[in-house]
């Protein structure tokens, strides 16, 4: 797909998106992000990809859903970059496996195990999946400013939601892995290769080790975790845009 053209999957074109983009998986979370933006407007919608744009504290922000998993996330990142996006923060949910991580907490990854297939089309086995340090620092500062409980560490990005056996989860727990998601490792790899900046903040909606919150879809802590992740991501973008110790944009 050529640079500057209307993109095949996202249906966005030149001038449609901002430099700074939040990437939730769920299209419904785009609408939640839009509630925090001034002048929020729908830009495009196609398949699982819903895009809104507005401003937060004077920063031009786009929110685009990626759907579930690394293949569609890679498509979203590539096509957004084709039309001018440069800074990405994934705003997702996560199942914790560290027993010290509670439902409602935030996880800010400093690396992701590539337990998925998409990133292997980009880089070989052994290549690390790591976020942008300045964005990670901005996320941490934003979480601390709000007094939100957060954890910094390694996550595992997986492909098969229902194939994670107890033995598999225990092996990851013994390695000190904080939690699981399904998109971050590919986000980090693609961003690195394309000269982009990327990071992730995850709201914890269940702990797969303790059993707390597992499939408790009506648990109000889930909505609170998502809200906190959105707030921290937006504030991090504002800090980075202002050059607040995180490298600027």
Number of domains in the chain: 1
Q: pLDDT tens digits, residue range 48-70?
A: 999 999 999 999 999 999 999 99
Q: What is the percent of the chain where pLDDT is above 90?
A: 91
pLDDT the model gives residue 244 = 53
Q: pLDDT tens digits, residue range 70-84?
A: 999 999 999 999 999
Model confidence at 249: pLDDT above 70? no
Residue 14 lies in a domain: no
pLDDT the model gives residue 241 = 86
Residue 6 lies in a domain: no
Q: pLDDT tens digits, residue range 140-177?
A: 999 999 999 999 999 999 999 999 899 999 999 999 99
Residue 13 lies in a domain: no
Residue 248 lies in a domain: no
Model confidence at 245: pLDDT above 50? no
Residue 166 lies in a domain: yes
Residue 203 lies in a domain: yes
Range of the domain at 109: 20-242
DSSP string over the chain: --TTSPPTTT---TTSS-SEEEE-SSHHHHHHHHTTSEEEEEEEEETTEEEEEEEETTEEEEEE---SSHHHHHHHHHHHHHTT--EEEEEEEEEE-STTPPTT-EEEEEEEEEESSGGGGTS-TT------HHHHHHHHHHHHHHT--EEEEEEEEES-GGG--HHHHHHHHHTT--EEESSHHHHHHHHHHHT-EEEEEEEEEEETTT-TTTT-TT-HHHHHHHHHHHHHHHHHHHHHHHTSSS---
Q: pLDDT tens digits, residue range 192-238?
A: 999 999 999 999 999 999 999 877 778 899 999 999 999 999 999 99
Indicate the pLDDT class of residue 243, thresholds 50, 70 and 90.
confident
Which CATH number fits the domain that encloses residue 137? Answer: 3.40.50.1580
């Amino acid at each position: 797909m050529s640079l500057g053209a209307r993109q095949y999957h996202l249906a966005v074109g030149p001038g449609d998106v901002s430099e700074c983009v939040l990437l939730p998986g769920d299209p419904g979370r785009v609408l939640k992000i839009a509630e925090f933006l001034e002048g929020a407007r729908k830009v495009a919608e196609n398949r699982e990809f819903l895009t809104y744009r507005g401003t937060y504290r004077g920063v031009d922000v786009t929110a685009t859903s990626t759907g579930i998993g690394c293949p569609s996330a890679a498509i979203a990142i590539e096509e957004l970059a084709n039309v001018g996006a440069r800074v990405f923060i994934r705003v997702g949910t996560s199942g914790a496996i560290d027993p010290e991580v509670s439902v409602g907490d935030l996880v800010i990854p400093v690396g992701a195990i590539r337990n998925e297939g998409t990133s292997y089309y980009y880089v070989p086995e052994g290549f690390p999946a790591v976020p942008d340090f300045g964005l990670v620092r901005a996320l941490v500062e934003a979480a601390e400013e709000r007094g939100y409980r957060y954890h910094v560490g390694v996550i595992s990005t997986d492909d098969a939601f229902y194939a994670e056996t107890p033995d598999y989860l225990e092996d990851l727990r013994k390695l000190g892995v904080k939690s699981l998601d399904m998109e971050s490792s590919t986000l980090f790899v693609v961003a690195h290769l394309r000269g982009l900046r990327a990071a992730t903040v995850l709201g914890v909606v269940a702990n797969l080790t303790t059993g707390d919150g597992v499939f408790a879809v009506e648990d109000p802590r889930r909505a609170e975790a998502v809200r906190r992740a959105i707030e921290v991501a937006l504030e991090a973008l504002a800090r980075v845009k202002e050059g607040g110790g995180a490298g600027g944009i």
